[in-house]
Amino acid sequence: METWYGLAVDLIVIAVFIAGIAQFRTPRGARRGNLTTAIAFAATLGLIVYRNTVGYPLAVIPAAVIGGIAGWTVSARVNMTRIPALIALQNGAGGGASLLVSLVELGRATADTALLSTIFAIAGVLVGGVALSGSLVAAAKLENRLSPRPRTLPGHNLILVLLLTTTASMSIWSLSLEGTQRVVALALLAGATLVFGVTFSVRVGGADMPVMISLLNAFSGLAAAFVGVAIGNQMLTAAGAMVGSSGTVLTLVMAKAMNRSVGAILAGRQLAEQAPAAPACDRAEAPETENASVETAQADASTVREAGPADDSPARRATAALAGATSVIIVPGYGMALAQAQHEVAELAAKLESAGKLVRFAVHPVAGRMPGHMHVLLAEADVEYDKLYEMDAINDEFSSTDVAIIVGACDVVNPAAITVADTPISGMPILNAHEAKAVIVCNLDEKPGYSGVPNPLYDDPGTIMLLGDAKETVARLTGGPTG
């Protein structure tokens, strides 16, 4: 009876896990989802402690308290621009925990140990070690502690194959040893998996880190699932499997948004699917291949561009363009996060709306350095969720929009991605801000984005460049006339 009762409790907690993850489909639901999954995790921890005897409570309890306080303190002090690196470290911590538990299980394995448990413990070592060291590399690149450029070694693929073969062989070999020899062998195995993780992740470029973080998240969940099977804990298996599967789906979605395969990203290839070479063009002279609606919108652009005298300052031209506009699309980017300008952007949007203008936000899937980065920032500033549009839902609207305001974004609006071949962003889908009748760019400078590809939009005569800290330039727009 107790067995059935325990199984029912486990299924209820797993259902709560699933319900929490399901809420992450929307920014508003994500808040509830975090709380729901946190409750499920707390229940899981309570069940584990209740069902198992803690052999060394004087060691476990202080460690749990210290770890909890340290995690809370670090997370509370990290701002949004550093959250991607923090998430990478958390992925690594999960992988490291799985690595340690798997090593312990292998260390005490005997001839009577179930073969399935041993196999999954070996898998936990391999995947957990890769998640740990790979996440540390990702965090270092995001924090500029390592160069964000991909580092490819001579014979990189061969090295990876040799490391994988070595770690798998060492796993099996260690089981044939006893006592101190096995401990030494397992220590060498752990070191080999960590080297494999570094080699695996170091050739991924910084611009691809959103995809890499998602993949490492999947790895940490997968490692936890393997450990769950190895130690016979169905709660850990279920939770790890959910994290692994959701991370895998997110990885595929992110790669698709960049028009690249996961394999190409992991191979360190900096070229996406290459677009046919074509000269960059401004909105005033659209190529004949563009559709008629875009050409019509571009022909009408002069009514907005000439809202102010040609010799006016950029700020006056920008405010005049906004005054004459009826529809505005705002494109947030990582520069907005760095400047912490989301509140000023929300204030500008509210002022434009109060003047009777249609205001929408266009969010590129890889804007920022992690999935959903811009959504979280704008949610902090109380921007309504129904005003946030994904790329597929908003791209066709730029051609009929009076003004596009770009705040701290470059690569995700760079027309070179569709007009120039053989660049790191060639073939990557972008937000079509260049099709708007006028563009206002609130960026720190005119330098290329993270990819290093110059943006021809900056040289377009219909683009108004407001250079400087986005917090200040957006505030300047808010203070100007809007209608």
List the catalytic residues: 411
By C-alpha distance, which of 98, 76, 96 is closest to 86? 76
Burial of 89 (0-12, 13-18, 19+ CB in 10 A): buried
